[in-house]
Structure 1
Amino acid sequence: MTRRSAPATRLLTVLALVAALLAGTAPWATAADKPTVTLSRTQAGTGGSITVKGSGWRPRTLLMMLICGQSSPSRGVIGGTNSCANADGLAVTSDADGAFSKRLPVAEPPRPCPCVVHVATVTGAEKAQADAEFKVAGHPVKALPAESGDGQLSMVTDTRLDGSSGVLTWFGAPPARTFTFTVGNVGSTPVKDPVFQVGTSHGVFAPQWEEQQWRGTIRPGRKARIELPVELTAGAHGSYLVSLKYGGKVLAEQPWGVGRPWGVTLFWILLCVVVPAAVFRIGMAVVDRLRPRDRPFQGRHRGSQRLAELTVRMPRLRGARQDADTPAPAPRTAADAATTTTLPWFTPDTGPGVPAAGQLSAPPDNSQTTKGTT
């Protein structure tokens, strides 16, 4: 380096320090500005309270304080906010210096200890969090799962939802699919029995996460095909989104369109038709049983006998079908044909077309008439 370049180097260094001060990122201030959390007591029972103090936070920032299980300051909250007592958490805002102090009631988290008091930012583009070791008196304790070393799962490919809806789903049964994907280990150590989070969301609502553990070991640089079951609530229909999360990061998303259960609608339509018909039949049966009896048997017998006499007197229709008990008439002979009876209002000599005795028929039109004497 020459003598003339030394002043320029000093000038550049001074300008860099001034820029760092203006941006608030001075190298010696990095460690001091790291968010920290301290507790008034490291152990307390349910119903008590502790004082939580913090420093190094961004000024005027909204923070959330929670007591979480299955966590440690070095590894953080392993199961996410599902391991925390969310209903008993409190919000606090840092002051102008990035510090705060507030009392937090002690509550048992849903997961066993080791526990921590977890403080994280709620607003702002940059997320920050800090944990302080804490023990809930009387709460069960369970060892943390073994660390996977430097193993990292990523490279999620070939995501799809396998399966189809059956007849029961058409009638309102919960739709179910299998979320299949390929994941690779890009770290330097194997990952054994990884725990994934599968969430389903509908419309603008937030996903409902559910932890699912895959049994197996993924070696460094290797891939594994993983299948996780996904199930919705009964009667669910519409557009859903299935999300996969691991290590606090969303690795994949897959849309899922669920059809409407038309079998339920058909069932209600049939119910509205069958029930009124059954009630009508039952009502008619009750009315038929409760209505008064007819006249005595003898009266009915006389009326039926008169009707039978009228039926016998009526002439039989031509070509009517003979009864099975009536014998067929005998064939007519030549003598019977010669002595056919005539209708009562005609005599043999006065039938239709036969001129009466002593009556002349009219001459035909083409016959010659004789002219008499004049």
Structure 2
Amino acid sequence: MSAIDTLWEYLAVAVGILVILGGLTFGLLRGRAGRTKDLPAPPSGQPSTTSPTSQEANDSPTTAPSRAPVDTLPPPAESTEVTEETLPPPPSRPTVETPDAPAGRLQRLRARLARSNSALGKGLLALLSRGQLDEEAWEEVEDTLLAADLGVQATTELVDKLRTRVKIENTTDEASVRRWLHEDLLALVDPSMDRSVANSRIEGRPAVVLVVGVNGTGKTTTVGKLARVLVAEDKDVVLGAADTFRAAAADQLQTWGERVGVPTIRSDREGADPAAVAFDAVKAGAELEADVVVIDTAGRLHNKVGLMDELGKVKRVIEKQSPVDEVLLVLDATTGQNGLRQAEVFGQVVDVTGIVLTKLDGTAKGGIVVAVQRQLGVPVKLVGLGEGPDDLAPFDPEAFVSAILD
């Protein structure tokens, strides 16, 4: 083969190679241009989805913004602005009541007392002012006094005094008899007794009042009404719901407290240790710098030794941190002489310092006031004269006797 033929062969190979390279280059360029054309243009305000610049690539990964694909960006969040229309209504607050002032409550309720004790007052006046008083008449006087639960000893004393006066004065006119009865009954009720209830701080601590009694005397209600008496006297009060055996007792007491803005210390567990609840109530009263802590206890029969021992325990546990300044025994005035036995047993267990007589407006047995004072040697301090929230009144001997006789 000649040199010319060889040269043409090389040229043909070279041209073929150039044609092939040119075709490949054209195909690559066309494919790249096609892919670039298919990409959507970035929307206004959105970051570009093309490759980052060298400056972006050098940014710290902790500060580089996260870029989501255009078609997966979340929709804009709805406005969370709270308007007045969307605000829930404020919770309703219990209305705090203003109790009636204790002063004068007994006078205000004298009409009720006079009606209920007509057998004692009007009956005696009718007997004593009817003229000649023979032995039979004096026996009727004694029967009337005994029926009013005055007690045998007090009845004997009163009749003896009246017989002496009638004999000396030689008269039985109604005005004189009324005056003598008033004087002698008032002496039996004994206005010299201290009837104040512990209601103020003592040596930098709250006064502690323990309320006790048998079932059915209205004890929890009496504690609630006593709270109203104390609030009306502008005292800061804490209630202790130590009646943990009756399911509704703590709720009932708390409702009484809320009505006058008084806190109630209670256990959420039914059957909790009443001594522990009483202890916590006294502790809370000290922390709140209250004037007085009033503790309600479960009603118990006076002849149940175990229950009475438990009541003694409540008092002892309280005394580990504070003296008990007042023990009020709640008695139902309609129980008569049976209430005297109750008073005696409670007095032995917890040293009763005062009596609260409930339902006195529904009985003609006003003489129980004298009888129970003589039985325990402690005064009647409060009397319940109705079902209203402010129908618990401090006992006033003068107003009581006047209501009976007038």
TM-score bracket, shorter-length normalisation: under 0.3
Return the structure number with greater helix share: 2
